[in-house]
Structure 1
């Protein structure tokens, strides 16, 4: 178990490097938020319900091979005559393959950076200079949830998608077992926020999620999530939420505050 957590900690440390730092970049926008809902994280139309359509596509260093899906960022435009000091908060739902900007935002998120009455002005810019940093995700009325994907075929294959993931860390591993059993099967990340396994336990299912809390690996236990009669397309409440913040071993940097 110690070796397992050492390996996991290495993986987690590598995917969370310097998230706390303030970064400088440029940001563009999609004219339709639906363009982001078909993104690489696999959220589909559910993405439009995240944070009032304040969603974003991030470059590979933010997407992190899917581990960055669902991460939250505070982002603000640097032109103080055009934009507010607070900026806006976005949730990463897609991969941005272009290197001109770190983010491509939904138009609603893009205009939310502007001062009141200057929505059209910022849209006319198309691309603006911004600064951003990662912040904890908060879902005050929702637990971490599991959606059973349509590709699942009982009893041979289970595919799930994680929704409403809180905290400021990544899920880097998921195990599944029958409720009451200690015979765990590991799941693999298929893509984005979607995980799967061909070793599906019988009966009602429990999960354990591996995240970082501080500098250490941590299990989050969800002891009864899927009923024995689980169905595809249904979202199940895990009964738990992730509130952990991963600490980083990167070099000192400006962690910033929105003044």
Structure 2
């Protein structure tokens, strides 16, 4: 067998010039470039939206919400809550985040120099029977906030109706630790995570029994997380990660004899 031909210096130079590096990528003009953190405004900067309010005709109307917190008064939120349109709700991940909201532009209805701190607890569903400009306030791509009238009246006169506002994320300040409310049946365990300081919203949760390693939980809805595992008669620990990447680990939060329906306090994020 004859040996492979030897590359001449000229041919070798041409190969080096026209062969692209293995680790580089030049997107074509039709491809989209990667989005980096600096491409979008900081979540803690003021951004524009619109806001409306609701008035509960029955006290029971104020209970619950798409984040799963249940009775908002008992959960410690009171009327300082907000429902978010689809463009802001992030499929429930935003639940628990805190916002500062202020009325702008319309000085006839705004209460000057005021703002209010609210926690995301609900979802304003789109109404595709209307256009986004013609009554579908919460339709994409609208950024829309729905406040209890008690909160709305702290920044604007109620007759204003659909108002231009500005909002920004702020760090949540909470008293006590992160709360873990355990529900479910048999080997199905659902945990509602609430009273979260810092960013307020949770992106990942792990649970651990005394006879298991760390087990990842899945988001069921809102801030309800679930797992199929037999963890009865074991003390439970939780590892919770917030949207800014901070992780807090609470060891043996629930004692060995925990039961469904109970709530336990763990460690807290820095606010």
**TM-score, length basis structure 2:** 0.71
Of residues 54, 69, 90, the one that matches 1:30 is: 54
CA distance in 2, matches of 1:84, 1:163: 33
Which is richer in helix? Answer: 1
The number of residues matched between the two structures is: 214
Q: CA deviation at 1:95?
A: 0.9
- Confirm or deny that 1:19 pairs with 2:43: yes
Q: CA RMSD in A?
A: 2.4
| CA 1:56–1:158: 2 relative to 1, 3 Å | same
Q: 1:72 aligns to what?
A: 98
Show CA shifts across 1:156-215 (max 9, x none).
111010111111263211111114x661111100000100000243411001112355xx
- Confirm or deny that 1:222 pairs with 2:250: yes
Greater RCO, CA 8 A, separation 6+? 1
CA contact (8 A) 1:50 1:91 kept: no
Gaps of 5+ in 2: 1-36, 126-137
- Confirm or deny that 1:131 pairs with 2:159: no
Q: 1:61 aligns to what?
A: 87
Matches within 5 A, 1:79-94: 79-80=106-107, 82-94=110-122
Gaps of 5+ in 1: 1-12, 115-121, 245-259
Q: SS of 2:78's equivalent?
A: helix
Q: 2:268 aligns to what?
A: 241
CA contact (8 A) 2:82 2:120 kept: yes
Q: CA deviation at 1:18?
A: 3.6
Q: CA deviation at 1:35?
A: 3.8
| CA 1:25–1:219: 2 relative to 1, 3 Å | closer
Q: CA deviation at 1:113?
A: 1.2
Q: 2:224 aligns to what?
A: 194
CA distance in 1, matches of 2:181, 2:90: 21
Q: 2:10 aligns to what?
A: none
Q: CA deviation at 1:85?
A: 1.6
CA contact (8 A) 1:188 1:195 kept: yes
**TM-score, length basis structure 1:** 0.75
- Confirm or deny that 1:147 pairs with 2:174: no
